[in-house]
Structure 1
């Protein structure tokens, strides 16, 4: 039984986790480096999620507006949905600016969103 387990492990090779946090050598950077990577990845993931949610809400609002026909309440609800989506996106970008300023004042680069996007592959 042990031989078959070893064969499977050897055939899989070295398996690393998802993104930079899956690299066990990153733990040697200390708590500050790991925390910075963790916060950057969380913020990046949430930003990408918010942008995707915005796109979905705009499409739903546009579809609702097109299918409202002559119903003024349906058209008003669709416009309100589009307005809410735009307000949500503005809030996300204001939060990113706020986080960036806080990170700058603390001396850490929390917003490494480009690193997050570049590391979206399984290594």
Structure 2
């Protein structure tokens, strides 16, 4: 059963210097340092900001941005870090979270679906 759905869009040009320290977790900040070029860094920050907003909307409660870590698997697919998932499962019980992030022109868009685990 679907427990929550969230969607968000962020204008990449609205990402300002220093905002990454308010939005990104320590794990995400380490990833950000690997990127070359201001444009790519802003895309990454906007994508993470968007997905965190989507997650909060899907959960229906505020979760501090720094407590949410979104990582990527070896194929580049984003996923919610295990620590973040455990934190959310303390509220909802056992769940599965589906996420997607996309960048196009000057926008980052994301979607989150929270699904109850059937037993």
Please indicate, yes or no, whether the TM-score normalized by the shorter chain is above 0.5: no
With the length of structure 2 as denominator, give the TM-score of the two structures.
0.26
Structure with bigger strand share is 2
Structure with bigger helix share is 1
With the length of structure 1 as denominator, give the TM-score of the two structures.
0.26
